[in-house]
Structure formats: structure tokens, C-alpha cells
Amino acid sequence: MGKCRDIEHAPLRAQAETVLTDYAAQSRDGTGPRGRKPKKRLSGRNIMIYGTLFVVSVYYLLPLWVMVVTSLKGMPEIRLGNIFAPPVEITFEPWVKAWSEACTGLNCDGLSRGFWNSVRITVPSALFSIFIASVNGYALANWRFKGGEAFFTILIFGAFVPYQVMLYPMVILLREIGLYGSLAGLVLVHTVFGMPIVTLLFRNYFTSLPEELFKAARVDGAGFWGIYFRVMLPMSLPIFTVAMIIQITGIWNDFLFGTVFTRPNLYPMTVQLNNIVNSVQGVKEYNVNMAATLLTGLVPLAIYFASGKLFVRGIAAGAVKG
């Protein structure tokens, strides 16, 4: 019976072979389809996707462009022209003026004072808050103790409470310990209000590390700080970078705490910028204002463009779980 079938199929096979040969011949001639399926370079779908993204990108970039071109124009040119037009005559004078001469109320020594204040606020605040929060995260993830999760839950809910609710108690608290109005007081405020998000970041990271590593270190006789500094810290550089990015941009951009918890001589750059631009006295110098605005935005922008994917990872890690 097996043989019978073979015979029956013989003509079919012959047919198939002819087709194959034909196809081969065609290919050799170059008439038949060869290679990968052809793709239209500019399909309607692609035009729509890239077109939309292009238009949206232009919209998003426009304010940056306006800031840059305005800050490089002289006032006469601004009065005459179009705010989107590139400068006819490039001048850096607004930048110089914004940095060292612009006035806020009493003194006229420009934004430089605010810049250095912001540096003096941001560096210790970021370092201190990250240290505290990373230790918290490590204690929560590895040294689970009774009540730890409860405190952590309160902390996370606290992140959603509007700052306005806790503002005045915090003022009283700082006044009681004698830190109200001082740099140290503001550092403390940033540490306290930055704690939920950064602690969450570190707790999730340390939880994701294999627990056996922690156990092995305990068998090896390392204590709380020994494991933190010698085992955990060297493994956590990426997450420390992410925390740095979150905290430095967040603290640099802060306005509310800067106004509430410091005295005018310690005002951070954002507060000073607002005072310069929105001061009612004198003629408005839009070019100087834009130069000052751009100067204030430069630090977080530099961090953003330098850190790239880590910035995204930072906000996603904080936001999705938060």
C-alpha cells in the first residue's frame, strides 16, 4: 500500500519540481521577487507619527528657544521685534547684568548671590538626606523590625499630605531647636520632606538585592554598619546616582521652603529670581529677566541632559511605586 501511494504522488512531485525550477530561473533573471519584503519608506502611518512628534517637539522646545534668543538681544530689539526671531545683534550684556547687577529690593549684586546660596543649600541637603534615607531603606529592607513597616507607611502617606499642612508646625519645631532661618534648618527641612521618596527608592532597591548576600555577611560577622558600608554601598552606586539626581534637581528647584524657612540673605536662586523678575519697581528688562531665568534653569537642565536614562529611571522608580 505504501508503494501505491508513492506512485500516486509522483505527478504531483514532478509538478512541484517544475514550479521550483521556474522560480529559480525567474530569480536568476531578476524578474521574480527576491530578498526581503519591500518596505515603503514613507508610509502614511509614519508621516503621521513623525509629523505629530515633530510638531509636539517644536512646541516643547519653543520656550527654551525664546529664553535663549531673548536673553541675547538688546532691549531696543526686543521692543521692535518678534520674540521668536533670532537676535540680529548678539549681546551677552543681559547675562552679565543678570549674574552680577540685577536688583532685588535692597541689594543689587545680581543672581550670583542666589546661585551660591542654592549651592550652599543643595549640596549638604542632598548629601544628608540621601545618607539618612539610604540607611532607612537599608534598615527597612534587611533588618526588618517590629513597627518598621508601620512607620514607613506613615512616611509614604506623608508624601501626599500638602506641605502647607505641615509648614507651620515645622516652623515651630525649628524655632524650638533654634534652627529657624538658618542654613542648617533648611537642610533639615529638605531632609525631612525628601525622606519618603528617597527612602522608598532605597528600600525597593535593597529589597531587590538577593537576601542571601545579607545573610552571608552576617555569618561572616559583619554588623549593621559593616554590611552597609562594605557590602551594600559598593553595590548601590547606580541607585545613589538616581537619588542624587532626584534630590539635587528637587532641592535646587524648591521655592516654598526657601521662602518660608530662610532669611533674605540666604534666599535660594529660585526665590531671588522671582523677586528680580516680578519686582514692581523700575523698567522691565526682559532680556535680563530671561537671562536670569535661564541661569536658574541651567543647573537642573545640565543634570538632566547629562544623566539621560538615569533621570527617567529615577522618576519612574519614585512615581510608579509611590
Partner 1 sequence: MQPSIAIKDLKLAFGAVEVLHDLNLDVGQGEFLVLLGSSGCGKSTLLNCIAGLLDITDGQIFIQGRNVTWEEPSDRGIGMVFQSYALYPQMTVEGNLSFGLKNAGLPKAEIAERVARAARVLQIEPLLKRKPAALSGGQRQRVAIGRALVRDVDVFLFDEPLSNLDAKLRADLRVEIKQLHQQLENTMIYVTHDQVEAMTLADRIAIMKGGKIMQLGTPKEIYNRPANRYVAEFIGSPTMNMLDGTLDMEIAPSFSCDIATFALGEYGFAPGTVSGPAWFGIRPEHVESGEAAEAMPVQLDTVIDLVEPLGSDTLVRVRAGGQLLWARANGQPDLSPRQPLRIGFDPARGHLFDRQGDIRL
Partner 2 sequence: MPSDPVHARQGGTAPPSAARRPRRLLRNLTAKIAAIPMVLTAMVVFLGGTVWTVTYSFTNSKLLPRAEFVGLAQYERLWATRRWVVSIENLAIYGLCSLVFSLVIGFVLAALLDQKIRYESAFRTILLYPFALSFIVTGLVWQWILNPEFGVQSIIRAMGFEGFAFDPLYNPDIAIFGILIAGLWQGTGLIMVLMLAGLRGIDGEIWKASRVDGIPAWKTYIFIIVPMMRPVFITALVLITSGIVKLYDLVVAQTGGGPGIATEVPAKYVYDYMFGGQNLGQGFAASTMMLLAVAIVVIPWAMLEFGGKRRG
Residues at the interface with partner 1 (CB under 8 A): 210, 212-213, 215-222, 226, 230-231, 234-235
Written as nine digits, the cell of 104 is 532685588
Q: Which of partner 2, partner 1, none does residue 215 bind (CB under 5 to 8 Å by kind)?
A: partner 1
Helix (H, G, I), strand (E, B) or coil at 106: coil
Q: Which is nearer to partner 1, 202 or 261 (CB)?
A: 202
Count of residues touching partner 2 (by CB under 8 A): 88
The smaller minimum CB distance to partner 1, of residues 8 and 212, is found at 212
Considering CB distances under 5 to 8 angstroms, the limit depending on partner class, which of partner 1, partner 2, none binds residue 12? none
Rounded to whole angstroms, how far apart are CA atoms 200 and 203?
A: 5
Grid cell 541651567 is found at 298
Produce one character per residue of 279-310: b if its CB has 16 or more CB atoms within 10 Å, e if not: eeeeeebbbbbbbbbbbbbebbeebeeebeeb
Tell me which of 75, 132, 209, 222 binds partner 2, using CB under 8 A.
132
223 vs 282, which CB is nearer to partner 1? 223
Residue 312 binding: pick among partner 2, partner 1, none (C-beta 5-8 Å cut-off by kind): partner 2
* Residue closer to partner 1 (CB basis): 162 or 234: 234
Q: Which is nearer to partner 2, 91 or 148 (CB)?
A: 148
Q: Which residues are CB-contacts of 15 (< 8 A; sequence separation ≥ 6)?
A: none
The CA-CA-CA angle for residues 29, 30, 33, to 5°, reads 130
Question: Looking up cell 536614562, which residue turns up?
Answer: 309
Say if residues 116 and 105 touch (Cβ distance below 8 Å): no
Name which position in 32, 63, 86, 178 contacts partner 2 (CB under 8 A): 63
Nearer to partner 2, 240 or 255 (CB): 255
Single out the residue of 238, 269, 241, 284 nearest to residue 114, CA to CA.
269
Q: Is 296 in the site for partner 2 (CB under 8 A)?
A: yes
- Check residue 49 for interaction with partner 2 (CB under 8 A): yes
How many C-beta atoms surround the C-beta of residue 314 within 10 A? 22
Site for partner 2 in 262-291 (CB under 8 A): 270, 273-274, 277-278, 286, 289-290
139 binds partner 2, rule: CB under 8 A: yes
